[in-house]
Amino acid sequence: MADWASSLGQKGRAQFRCRREASRRVVPSESIIRDVLVRVDPAELDIAFRRWDESLAIDGKTMCHAIDDEGHQTHIMSTVGHDSHRGHTQKK
C-alpha cells in the first residue's frame, strides 16, 4: 500500500486529500499506514463489511517496465462490485 501511495502523482494525491507540504502533496509513510492498519479491529471491520449490500472484489498489480515521468512504476488496482445475494442458495 505504501509503495502504491508513494507512486501516485500530485493529481492522485489531491484526489485522496493527502496533506500539503509547501506546494506539494505528500503521502503517509509506510510506518504511518502500518500503524493505522494494526489499530483496526478485525471484528469491527468484518461487521462493517457485512452491512454492505454489495460485495467487492479487489485486485492489484504492478506493471513491469512501465515507468512514469517521475520514475515510479505503474500500479493498477481494480475493484468490481457485485450483488452479494446472487449466487447464494438457501436451504429450506
Residue 10 or 68, more confident: 10
Number of domains in the chain: 1
How far apart, in whole angstroms, are the C-alpha atoms of residue 76 and residue 58?
11
Q: What is the pLDDT of residue 84?
A: 52
Q: 91: pLDDT confidence band, cut at 50, 70 and 90? A: very low
The answer to whether position 91 is within a domain reads no
Q: Which three cell numbers stand for residue 37?
A: 492498519
72 DSSP assignment: P
The answer to whether position 88 is within a domain reads no
> Global pTM?
0.49
Q: What is the largest CA-CA distance in the chain?
A: 63
Task: Tell me if 58 sits within 8 A of 51, measured CB to CB.
Answer: no
The answer to whether position 90 is within a domain reads no
How far apart, in whole angstroms, are the C-alpha atoms of residue 44 and residue 5?
25
How far apart, in whole angstroms, are the C-alpha atoms of residue 56 and residue 83?
9
Domain boundaries, position 27: 2-83
All residues at 6 or more sequence positions from 81 whose CB lies less than 8 Å from its CB, including other chains: 54, 55, 56
